[in-house]
Structure 1
Amino acid sequence: MEEKSKQIQKMFNNIAPKYDLLNRLLSFRRDVYWRKKSINLLNISDGMTILDLACGTGDMIIQLRKKIKDVNIIGADFSKNMLDIARQKGVMNPLINADAHYLPFKDGSFDRIMIAFGFRNVVNKEIGLKELFRVLKPGGILCILEFSQPEGKIFSKIYRFYFQKVLPFIGGLISGNRNAYSYLPDSVYKFPKKDDYKKMILNAGFEKADFNFMTFGICNAAICYKKY
């Protein structure tokens, strides 16, 4: 587990400088919309303490700051280079280099937790979910925004071609790391299917999980509730 995590960490450190550009380009800027909708689904109010896990270059933090000013946000990511880019973009919130398998926070530290496009990179997802559950306050909400697989016959074929052929080519050309953008579709197609995913969330202790699919099922914001 640790060796694979280190490999993924190294990969994200390498692509950090081009990460934002490629996110916008390869998603046709839909990633901005997906983040905004996910933040709305979290029902965040003034005074809350928020963890943005796998915060990357700080896009979720920046979006949340635009919407609600009076919140305490901590960003955490296992890629130091991603955090450096976030600081360069003006993110002033505390940013911590941390691994999702061993979160450096006390039990019940956060009212809300968000993790955007990072959960599929958690090698042991069961441990990751239990850690997220542990650091979430009773009555708290977790949002996992992640890629998913469209179910429509025609669109799913178009999407698979783009995702497995076009995206790695463009991503590799711009970032200089084709392996990283071949890893992306591979990690999505290896991600647990809907029923198994929901079972995994509930087994971690969450009371309920609602799935919110976006853009023909390309993305899913899983809203997970911890019981009071």
Structure 2
Amino acid sequence: MEEKSKKIQRMFDGIADRYDLLNRLLSFRRDVAWRKKAIELLEVKENHKILDLACGTGDMIGELKRQTKNSDIIGADFSKNMLFKAKRKQPDIMLLAGDAHSLPFKPDSFDRVMIAFGFRNVTDKNKGLEELFRVVKPGGRLCILEFSQPEGFVFSRLYRLYFTKILPFLGGLISGDRRAYEYLPDSVYKFPPKNEYKKMIIESGFERVQFNPMTFGICDATICFK
């Protein structure tokens, strides 16, 4: 597990420079709308303390700042190169290295926690969910924004063609690392099905789970209530 996590970490370090460009290009800019909707669903209040885990280059933090006022935001990521990019975009935000398997925070530290397009990279998902539950305050919320598998016979097959063939080609062409963009669809199609995923969340301690599929089910903002 540890070696796999390090391999994923090195992969994201390697694509950090082109990460934002490729997110916009390969999602046809839908990633902007997905982040906006996810933060709306979190229902952040003034003076809430918020953790953005797997913060990447800071896009979720930027959207959070646009939607809220006077929130205390901390960003964490296991990729140092991603954090370097995030610091340039969000110089006023505390950013630190952090791994979902062992978060450097006390229990009940945050009113809201969000992890966007990072949970599928957590090698031990049960341990990750336990850690996320631990740092959320009672009555708080966790939002896991993640790619999912769209439903519908025709669209799901067209999407699979794009996701597994065209996207890796374009991603590799622009980033110089095709393997990173082959890993993306592979990690999505290996993600637990929704019934198993929901069971994992509940067993970690959360009381209720709300799925919010977007763009024909390509993406889902899962809200977990503590």
TM-score interval, normalised by the smaller of the two chains: over 0.9
Q: Given residue 181 of structure 1, which amino acid in structure 2 is its aligned partner?
A: Y
Do the aligned partners of 1:52 and 1:113 also contact (CA within 8 Å) in 2? yes
Q: Given residue 20 of structure 1, which amino acid in structure 2 is its aligned partner?
A: D
Q: What's the CA shift for 1:69?
A: 2.2
Q: What's the CA shift for 1:83?
A: 0.5
Structure 1 match to 2:99: 99
List, as ranges, runs of 4+ consecutive aligned residues in structure 1 with deviation greater than 3 Å.
Answer: none
Structure 1: state its 5+ residue gaps: none
TM-score (norm 2): 0.99
Structure 2 match to 1:168: 168
Do the aligned partners of 1:114 and 1:143 also contact (CA within 8 Å) in 2? yes
Structure 2 match to 1:177: 177
Aligned to 2:211, the other structure's residue is in SS state: strand
Structure 1 match to 2:67: 67
Structure 1 match to 2:41: 41
Paired-residue identity, %:
68
Do the aligned partners of 2:52 and 2:61 also contact (CA within 8 Å) in 1? yes
Deviation string, structure 1 residues 18-59 (Cα, Å, up to 9, x no partner): 000000000000000000000000010100000000000000
Deviation string, structure 1 residues 82-119 (Cα, Å, up to 9, x no partner): 01001122342100101100000000000000000000
Structure 1 match to 2:203: 203
Q: Given residue 127 of structure 2, which amino acid in structure 1 is its aligned partner?
A: I
Q: Given residue 212 of structure 2, which amino acid in structure 1 is its aligned partner?
A: N
Q: Given residue 180 of structure 1, which amino acid in structure 2 is its aligned partner?
A: A
Do the aligned partners of 2:16 and 2:82 also contact (CA within 8 Å) in 1? yes
Structure 2 match to 1:154: 154
Aligned to 1:223, the other structure's residue is in SS state: strand
User: 2-side partners of 1:122 and 1:90: how far apart?
Assistant: 24
Do the aligned partners of 1:34 and 1:214 also contact (CA within 8 Å) in 2? yes
Aligned to 1:37, the other structure's residue is in SS state: helix
Q: Given residue 174 of structure 1, which amino acid in structure 2 is its aligned partner?
A: I
Structure 1 match to 2:115: 115
User: 1-side partners of 2:173 and 2:213: how far apart?
Assistant: 30
User: 2-side partners of 1:75 and 1:197: how far apart?
Assistant: 25
Q: What's the CA shift for 1:189?
A: 0.1
Do the aligned partners of 1:54 and 1:78 also contact (CA within 8 Å) in 2? yes
Structure 2 match to 1:14: 14
Do the aligned partners of 2:101 and 2:122 also contact (CA within 8 Å) in 1? yes
Aligned to 2:144, the other structure's residue is in SS state: strand
Deviation string, structure 1 residues 115-163 (Cα, Å, up to 9, x no partner): 0000000000000000000000000000000000001100000100000
RMSD between superposed Cα atoms in Å: 0.5
Q: What's the CA shift for 1:170?
A: 0.2
Do the aligned partners of 1:58 and 1:91 also contact (CA within 8 Å) in 2? no
Do the aligned partners of 1:62 and 1:91 also contact (CA within 8 Å) in 2? no
User: 2-side partners of 1:156 and 1:76: how far apart?
Assistant: 33
TM-score (norm 1): 0.98
1:79 aligns with 2:66: no
Aligned to 2:154, the other structure's residue is in SS state: helix
Structure 2: state its 5+ residue gaps: none
Structure 2 match to 1:139: 139
Q: Given residue 155 of structure 1, which amino acid in structure 2 is its aligned partner?
A: F
